[in-house]
Chain A
Amino acid sequence: METIIVIFGGRSAEHDVSIVTAISSIIKPLELTKKYRVEAVYVAKSGAWYWDEKLKDINLFSSGNIADFLHKASPASIQFDGGMKLVKASGIAGRKQIRKIDIAFPAMHGTYGEDGSLMGLLDMAGIPYIGCSVSAASIAMDKVICKQLASSNDIPVTPFVHFSKSDIERDPLKVIGKITGALKFPLFVKPAHLGSSIGISKVVNEKELKNALEVATHYDDKVIIEEEVPNLIELTLPIMGNDSPIPALLERPLTSPEDFFDFDTKYLQGGKKGKGSGGKSSSKGAQGYSQIPAELPSELYSRAENLGLKVYKTMGCSGISRVDMLVNQKTGQIYFNEINPLPGGLYAHNWNKSGVSNIELVEKLVLFAKERHSTRQALNTSFSTNYLQQF
């Protein structure tokens, strides 16, 4: 039986979201397949790694007992030996417990997890892992680079500017002047590398803009400022696969135009900030109430789906991602907004509506991971030279 480690938690503002994604949407379905031995690896906010069966229980986290657990538990370590092994002291006469890892399922959102850092570690270990590669994850997690790449591939994006944290701190008024010179209010101010709507503000004047920049720089060293799309419809499209990606259903979060999904709306209020109450085809998924599939004219639906797939391929995604789009419903113009290499809860609620069960979803993702790994293994990674002989 192959061993899969599910790595979650992490030193990121999305630490808590990651715990729910891992335990509810990944560990349980993987165990139910009965095909894999599933090991839970929790990366604490301190950065220490822990490996224990008890970490599969959401109650350990929701009850707050995790602090006590971490106090008593010994951190695990990773051993690279032409593969990857988990190592920890068993507590019985200091004997070490070692588990060889066959596949990794990164379930860490945001910094160090979703941004390519963890993928780099797994690439070094040479084991298959679920989700995007280092390069795709790094691009996807930088909203600025992402939009620049999209623009250069004829994918429409909303007008935007970006600044570093040091620029903003050095001369905020100059930055605000540049922003108001280039863009029109209302604007969105976002940390460039964070997901789950953390640190995002909508602003309508310079005073709010100044505050929003402060908030965003609190979370990130790069900030992106974008123009709002008028007559807005938000759309999101989960996609999975490698060379031939498969779309799920276009989903429309039920928010009113003056609202947007910040972290509280998404995860703490069950998405109830919007006016919509659900309707016939609405669903309360990982991010609250939404319409699945989005009720759109078929031509618009088809264009949005194709744009999502084009973004997925352009960014070099594999495994799974979610593409967010903005639509001006008066003009029918669709803009690429951002791409999320590890959608919260894998967006299983949307895949369920598409006819893919939770178990099938994780099984497919494991297959995609193996497929990509095999392709990479087939590449030649050595090149003979006489370079060393010159010394």
Chain B
Amino acid sequence: MMQSLISLYKLSYPRSLVYMLQSSEYVVKPYLIWVWRTNDFSKVMNRRTLVYTRAARLLLLALRLGILLQILIGVLFIYLGAKNSLAGGVVFGIALIISYPFVWAYLLILPLILGRYFINGPKSLREIEESKQIFANHPGIKIAVAGSYGKTTMKELLTSVLSEKLVVASTPANKNVSLSHAKFATKLKGNEDVLVIEYGEGEPGDVARFASITAPTHGVITGLAPAHLDKYHSMQEAGEDIFSLADYLKNKNVFVNTDSQSVNPFIKEDFELFNHKEALGWKISGIKVDINGTSFEMKKDSQILKLRSAVVGRHQVGYLAFASAFALRLGLSKEQVVAAISKTKPFEHRLQPYKLADAWVIDDTYNGNLEGIRAGTQLLKDLSAKRKIYITPGLVDQGVENENVHIEIGKLIADASPDSVVLMKNSVTKYIREGLKIGKYSGKLSIEADPLTFYTNLNHFVASGDLVVMQNDWPDNYI
């Protein structure tokens, strides 16, 4: 209690507030929730520290000056009150000084709200409106990629493979909301054969809105899993939003990954399906997974494609096969497809293998959903190693499914049977432990209270022959 109170008056308090705002991506609601939840403001920078951007420096300066001004006014009131024997003045002065941490935690967001409503908001709306025209008039094939997970992977694979012959442009990194789409549109040259546009759904209505702006001709739905359930409330609601892409396309040119069983209730007759057994009429066999990549064969009538990619994991086969089959449909030769697939590489922080202190680490820290956890734990099972280590903090934004999802994660980990499990201590740890218990996990379990120290010193924990799978990473605004 005392420690918490002291933290409000430490010199580091303004920096903590600006850090919290920056980590919340300058969005008011998560920042406020974080402020309300925080007891000790001296311990908010666990994963990262404040990045001194121009905006952060300006906010910090304004905050410090504001606090200083409030304290000076408080002192002035105390002085004048004492000089003129006015108890009220003294009390008000003291109140001013004591209250500054509370006052400025809220005043800090004022410039954001004003800026958003009066400057950024109208500007963004204008950009989005202009992009509508650009997308509508673009002559290329426009492929929208939607789903609860695997969107970035699918987008990157399609881009890599189709680029072997065609001119392809795709939305950068995981920039996948309307404003990002609008910025992407302004950079198009108009000569692209294919546009690949990722849809990052966050709340009901998002996907339909993205579709109305980007006017896709094709849609790929990568899967459905519990994600953003704080906004969607149920998988049904999330599924309806994601499959509104199919509604826009009138169920034509819609491709759905049926490795994700949750999509089944939404499947319609006109959809074309793909999974790790079949993709657009091609049969898949001979799947082999090792730390250096994944290989498999695709057969259709008398045609055979032997494919090898550096992306790792059985769950990637459906995506790779779809990208290959779709590329063939768009006119790429078999040789071009084989060559293109051989050039595909793991994407950063998405089941990306790398060597550390002679151990193999599979970095899947950008994964944030149950299906990804399923894929990661399956990979841990598939690969051989002298010692297997699994590391996760769990998932965020699981809404009402939070407990069930994390019990399921515990069971999946237990089923993969690693020698050692490391959980980052937070609000879901107890559920994962419960799942481990149900799954009768008998290996070593460690709970890490200081994730940053653990991750930055991982090289000291591992040795040759170890296989480490790290899934998901929680920012500081989740506990």
Contact = CB atoms under 8 A, between A and B. Distances in A.
Contacts of A32: 453, 457, 460-461
A230 interface: no
A42 interface: no
B463 A351 contact: yes
Contacts of A351: 463
A353 interface: yes
5 contacts: A352-B357, A355-B386, A356-B463, A357-B466, A360-B463
Contacts of A283: 358
Contacts of B349: none
Contacts of B453: 32
Contacts of A359: 460-461
Most buried by A among B459, B462, B464: B464
B465 A355 contact: yes
Contacts of A29: 460
A283 B464 CA distance: 12
B387 interface: yes
Contacts of A354: 463-464
Given A352-B357, A352-B358, A357 B463 contact: yes
The 3 A-B pairs with the shortest beta carbon distances in the complex, nearest first, are: A358-B460, A357-B463, A352-B463
A11 interface: no
A29 B358 CA distance: 17
Interface in B401-429: none
A220 B352 CA distance: 52
A360 B464 CA distance: 12
A28 B460 contact: yes
Interface in B443-475: 453, 457, 459-466
A351 B462 CA distance: 11
Given A352-B463, A352-B464, A357 B457 contact: no
Contacts of B387: 355
Nearest to A249: B464
Contacts, number: 39
Interface in A339-381: 351-360
Interface of B: 357-358, 386-387, 453, 457, 459-466
Given A29-B460, A32-B461, A351-B463, A357 B386 contact: no
Interface string A268-291: 000000000000000100000000
State the main secondary structure of chain A at its contact with B. helix
A352 B463 CA distance: 5
A351 B387 CA distance: 15
A32 B464 CA distance: 19
Contacts of B357: 352, 357-358
Given A352-B357, A352-B358, A357 B461 contact: yes
Contacts of A360: 463
Interface residues of A, number: 14
Contacts of B386: 355
A360 B459 CA distance: 12
A351 B465 CA distance: 12
A146 B466 CA distance: 38
Contacts of B465: 355
Contacts of A353: 358, 463-464
Contacts of B457: 28, 32
A354 B462 CA distance: 11
B380 to A, nearest CB: 18
B375 to A, nearest CB: 27
Nearest to B387: A355
A381 to B, nearest CB: 38
Q: Which of the listed residues B357, B386, B457, B460 has the most CB atoms from chain A within 10 Å of its own CB?
A: B460
Contacts of B463: 351-358, 360
Nearest to A24: B460
Contacts of B464: 352-355
B386 to A, nearest CB: 6
B114 to A, nearest CB: 43
A187 B142 CA distance: 76
Nearest to B449: A34
A180 B464 CA distance: 47
Nearest to B464: A353
A221 to B, nearest CB: 40
Interface string A20-39: 00000000110010000000
Instruction: Point out which of B457, B461, B463, B465 has the most chain A C-beta atoms below 10 A from its C-beta.
Output: B463
Nearest to B453: A32
Nearest to B460: A358
A294 to B, nearest CB: 15
A346 to B, nearest CB: 12
Nearest to B357: A352
Contacts of A28: 457, 460
A358 B459 CA distance: 8
A352 B358 CA distance: 7
A355 B453 CA distance: 22
B292 to A, nearest CB: 14
Contacts of B462: 357
Contacts of A352: 357-358, 463-464
Contacts of B461: 32, 357-359
Contacts of B466: 355, 357
Nearest to B454: A32
Nearest to A357: B463
A28 B459 CA distance: 11
Nearest to B446: A34
A28 B464 CA distance: 19
Given A357-B461, A358-B357, A359-B461, 9 more contacts: A28-B457, A28-B460, A283-B358, A352-B358, A352-B463, A352-B464, A353-B358, A357-B463, A358-B460
A360 to B, nearest CB: 7
A359 B420 CA distance: 14
A357 B357 CA distance: 8
A42 B447 CA distance: 33
A283 B357 CA distance: 10
A355 B387 CA distance: 9
Nearest to B448: A34
Interface in A237-277: none
A76 to B, nearest CB: 27
A385 to B, nearest CB: 52
Nearest to A30: B460
A352 B357 CA distance: 7
Interface in A1-60: 28-29, 32
A353 B463 CA distance: 6
A177 to B, nearest CB: 51
A76 B461 CA distance: 32
B358 to A, nearest CB: 5
Residue in A28, A357, A359 whose Cβ sees the most chain B Cβ within 10 Å? A357
A351 B460 CA distance: 12
A147 B463 CA distance: 34
A347 to B, nearest CB: 13
Nearest to A362: B460
A359 B466 CA distance: 14
Nearest to B457: A32
B312 to A, nearest CB: 21
Contacts of A358: 357, 459-461, 463
A238 B357 CA distance: 17
A355 B357 CA distance: 10
A354 B387 CA distance: 12
Nearest to B356: A352
Contacts of B460: 28-29, 32, 357-359
Nearest to A361: B463
